[in-house]
Amino acid sequence: MAIDDIREKKKAWQAGVEKSLAKNPESQDAFFTISDLPVERLYTPADTADLDYLRDIGFPGEYPFTRGVQPTMYRGRLWTMRQYAGFAAAEESNRRYKYLLEQGQTGLSVAFDLPTQIGYDSDHEFSLGEVGKVGVAIDSLADMEVLFDGIPLDKVSTSMTINATAAVLLAMYMVVGEKQGVSGDRLTGTIQNDILKEYAARGTYIFPPQPSMRIITDIFAFCTEHVPRWNTISISGYHIREAGSTAVQEVAFTLANGIAYVEAAVKAGLKVDDFGPRLSFFFNSHLDFLEEIAKFRAARRLWARIMKERFGAKNPRSLMLRFHTQTAGCTLTAQQPANNIVRVAFQALAAVLGGTQSLHTNSMDEAFSLPTEEAVAIALKTQQLVGYETGVADTVDPLAGSYYLENLTSRIEAGAEEYIQRIEGLGGAVAAVEKGFIQREIQDSAYRYQRAVEDGQRVVVGVNKFQTEDVQPGNLLRVDPSVGERQVEKLKKLRAERDNAAVDKALAALERAARGTDNLLPPIIEAVRCYTTLGEIISVLRGVFGEHEASVGA
């Protein structure tokens, strides 16, 4: 049999190599991916003998979607170039969005500051020092109107990285659209809205898990009816990976969270094929080039199987894992920052070879600060170079069939499946995070990686090898503390000028809905419309739902 012949011949070849190792040693005794998966010297058809092309690899746009979610992929349309951006106040961020659109980006991605993400107005004591620092400060609809001034919401799709307060920002976006004459059914975009990874890896949770899941399923139900072209969630592995997880854990914990969301929605009475097509995902693109490509393919195949076999989804669109990718922030170095341009280029290429639907590329100066215009232009150009000059976008899933890549895809899928089973054994993703299992696994991987770097086993160019004297890039982006002061003034003016009776009425209605089971979106939209602030809305919800007490576990 042909495969047996190959195995035999490979054994003989290996024996020959072993003999020559004394004279020509390999640089390591054993090789591993950055996620600790063994990497053999050579892969042959024997390593993919268990795969059935039609069953396991198949065709793009068809189950199990290993090769991609659309039949023509980038030949039809390149991935959306969507740079995460936002800082200071709405005016500054609006300018940056217009700059990025002029430079050729094809979708918007909004970064909000921490007070906005955690439900505090800019004048709250916890907001001191934080306003506008990691993203734009949005206190009310008034800020949102400035943020999208001159940006037509029927022509641009917008992704908003917002989780615990996603319902409020979505409501604001809808009202801005309404004022532009764009009805909900024409809005396109995404809200991240993935609270489970906040507990495990990102930290911008507000309420405990149960009420948080209620808000999320309310959003699914509301959007299915009123904002049907909106991605209601971006189930994220990016942050899990940034926190230190391996590629296998990234897939496993993300898909386990996905399972929890689908279960919650089904339990809330929603039909899987109604909300399924609007679930989306968000992955990291990290250093190990080939492992990342395999990871994306493994995630697609595994999710398709889960939705089909476990949840009985019938609509092919419910089976498609559509995803956004961001290049790995944690791999950016402060030392020799120009190297980051190259790292990001490799990571962008991996994401494209992995079939991403949209992509953010980091800037070279982000180990120091948010990016300057010059730095972000290079990051965007990187995507344009990949898309227009390398040729990789001209055929679908070009690395399919590689013995190593298919073998690695299967190994990552198997590893993720094993983890998902363990998580099921613990009672599911919510229980696993409450028990600290997810956090411990991530921390252990993070520590192992740090040890490997400090021991020199894992090279980081410019940091533990090939070091030079530190030179920080000049001209870093600075967010002035006066941004916070300006927001406080704006709030004073807003509260003086709005219809406070309407605000009080809206907040009372919101509280009633929160205490009951009515969908929270309509009362939130009403509150937003009369310029109730984000902090005021969230404060009511805090009063009803309580706050999550994180276990410390370190």
Which parts of this chain interact with other proteins (CB under 8 A)?
114-115, 117-118, 120, 125-130, 133-134, 198, 202-204, 242-244, 330, 332-335, 367-370, 443, 446-447, 450, 454, 460, 463, 470, 472, 476, 478-479, 481, 550-552, 554
Q: Hey, what are 294's tokens?
A: 């395999």
User: 73 vs 90, which CB is nearer to other proteins?
Assistant: 90
Closest CA to 322 of 105, 79, 72: 79
User: 305 vs 458, which CB is nearer to other proteins?
Assistant: 458
Q: Is 436 left (phi over 0), alpha (psi -120 to 50) or beta?
A: left
Closest CB 453 distance from other proteins, rounded Å: 8
Would you say 378 and 364 are in contact if contact means Cβ atoms under 8 Å apart? Answer: yes
Burial 365-381 (b: 16+ CB within 10 A, else e): bbbbbbbbeebbbbbbb
User: 68 vs 484, which CB is nearer to other proteins?
Assistant: 484
Interacting residues of 245 by C-beta distance below 8 A, sequence separation 6+: 201, 253, 441, 442, 445, 446
User: 44 vs 333, which CB is nearer to other proteins?
Assistant: 333
Distance between CA atoms of 87 and 93, rounded to whole angstroms? 6
Closest CB 121 distance from other proteins, rounded Å: 13
Closest CB 109 distance from other proteins, rounded Å: 19
Q: Hey, what are 319's tokens?
A: 């089976």
Closest CB 70 distance from other proteins, rounded Å: 34
Closest CB 467 distance from other proteins, rounded Å: 9
Closest CB 92 distance from other proteins, rounded Å: 14
User: 34 vs 270, which CB is nearer to other proteins?
Assistant: 34
The sign one gets for the Cα dihedral 35, 38, 40, 43 is negative
Closest CB 472 distance from other proteins, rounded Å: 5
User: 337 vs 428, which CB is nearer to other proteins?
Assistant: 337
Closest CA to 256 of 441, 447, 410, 60: 441
Closest CB 474 distance from other proteins, rounded Å: 10
User: 115 vs 354, which CB is nearer to other proteins?
Assistant: 115
Would you say 356 and 321 are in contact if contact means Cβ atoms under 8 Å apart? Answer: no
- When computed from its CA atoms, the radius of gyration of the chain, rounded to whole angstroms, is 24
**One-character DSSP codes across 92-132:** HHHHHHHHHHHTT--SEEEEB-HHHHHT--TTSGGGTTTTT
Closest CB 334 distance from other proteins, rounded Å: 4
User: 270 vs 446, which CB is nearer to other proteins?
Assistant: 446
Closest CB 58 distance from other proteins, rounded Å: 37
Distance between CA atoms of 110 and 113, rounded to whole angstroms? 10
Burial status of residue 4 (CB atoms within 10 A of its CB: 0-12, 13-18, 19 or more): exposed
Strand partners, 465: 461
User: 186 vs 448, which CB is nearer to other proteins?
Assistant: 448
Would you say 134 and 166 are in contact if contact means Cβ atoms under 8 Å apart? Answer: no
Closest CA to 127 of 489, 545, 493, 488: 488
User: 35 vs 358, which CB is nearer to other proteins?
Assistant: 35
